[in-house]
């Protein structure tokens, strides 16, 4: 099976997500065809979506301007998988506590932007994640803190008493950047568990 994976490419770390989904697919003897999303009309043909890290105020502005935001919401309504990382999670949240981010409201969490690692902008931590046997090397870069999760949201990992990986229906969100390591297990958990079942 070839999976058509759309990476939101209006801004952010796009190519890394493409590589990560290809690695995860290969681990399942599948291939991923990666398409970059910069305009409307692409999302409806995608099996899965990746919403990368970057700058959430910019990403939010561009996806609304280009008519991509509604298409992402329809993708989620249809039960199709999404992995949203860092700024992608902020854009996906129900609340970003920032008027400049018009969120998609596809995962019921409230996030505080740039709240992790104020003293030290980025850090890596070995993270215990629900469903993974060994810790995941989680890279945090000016990461959002999740300070509220809705009742339908499953917390997959916490760091420093805060949820940092969450799932609601087809959407998995992380405060950290799984695409910046060689380890495919978060992409695997977001896509191949759900796509294959």
Ligand X SMILES: NC(=O)CC[C@H](N)C(=O)O
Chain positions contacting ligand X, by CB under 6 A: 53-56, 86-87, 90, 113-114, 141-142
User: Is 179 one of the annotated active-site residues of the chain?
Assistant: yes
Q: Which residues is 2 bridged to in the sheet?
A: 31
185 is in an annotated binding site: no
The single residue of 17, 75, 162, 177 carrying the catalytic annotation is: 177
Q: Which is nearer to ligand X, 3 or 10 (CB)?
A: 10
38 is in an annotated binding site: no
The DSSP line for the chain is -EEEEEEE-SSSSHHHHHHHHHHHHHTTT-EEEEEEE-STTSGGG-SEEEE--S-HHHHHHHHHHTTHHHHHHHHHHTT--EEEETHHHHHHEEE-S-TT------EEEEEETT-TTSSSSEEEEEE--TT-SS-EEEEEESPPEEEEE-TTPEEEEEETTEEEEEEETTEEEESS-GGGSS--HHHIIIIIHHHH-
Q: Which is nearer to ligand X, 13 or 108 (CB)?
A: 13
The single residue of 16, 46, 86, 187 carrying the catalytic annotation is: 86
67 is in an annotated binding site: no
Report in angstroms how near the CB of residue 53 gets to ligand X at its nearest.
Answer: 3
The single residue of 46, 71, 179, 187 carrying the catalytic annotation is: 179
* Residue, CB closest to ligand X: 53
Q: Which is nearer to ligand X, 54 or 81 (CB)?
A: 54
Report in angstroms how near the CB of residue 146 gets to ligand X at its nearest.
Answer: 13
User: Is 124 one of the annotated active-site residues of the chain?
Assistant: no
Report in angstroms how near the CB of residue 48 gets to ligand X at its nearest.
Answer: 20
Report in angstroms how near the CB of residue 57 gets to ligand X at its nearest.
Answer: 6
User: Is 17 one of the annotated active-site residues of the chain?
Assistant: no
141 is in an annotated binding site: yes
| Binding annotation for L-glutamine | 54-56, 113, 141-142
Q: Which sequence positions are flagged as catalytic?
A: 86, 177, 179
């Amino acid at each position: 099976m070839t999976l058509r994976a759309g990476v939101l490419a209006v801004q952010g770390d796009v190519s890394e997500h493409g590589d990560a989904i290809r690695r995860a697919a290969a681990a399942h003897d599948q291939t991923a065809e990666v398409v970059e999303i910069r305009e409307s009309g692409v999302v409806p043909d995608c099996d899965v979506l990746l919403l990368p890290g970057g700058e959430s105020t910019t990403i939010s502005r561009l996806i609304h301007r280009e008519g991509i935001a509604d298409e992402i919401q329809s993708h989620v309504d249809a039960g199709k998988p999404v992995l949203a990382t860092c700024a992608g999670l902020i854009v996906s949240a129900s609340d970003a506590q920032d008027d400049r981010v018009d969120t998609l409201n596809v995962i019921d969490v409230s996030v505080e932007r740039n709240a992790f690692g104020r003293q030290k902008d980025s850090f890596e931590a070995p993270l215990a994640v629900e469903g993974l046997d060994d810790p995941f090397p989680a890279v945090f870069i000016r990461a959002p803190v999740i300070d509220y999760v809705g009742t339908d949201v499953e917390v997959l990992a916490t760091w420093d008493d805060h949820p940092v990986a969450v799932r609601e229906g087809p959407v998995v969100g992380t405060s950290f950047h799984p695409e910046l390591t060689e380890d495919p297990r978060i992409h695997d958990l977001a896509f191949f568990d759900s796509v294959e079942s």
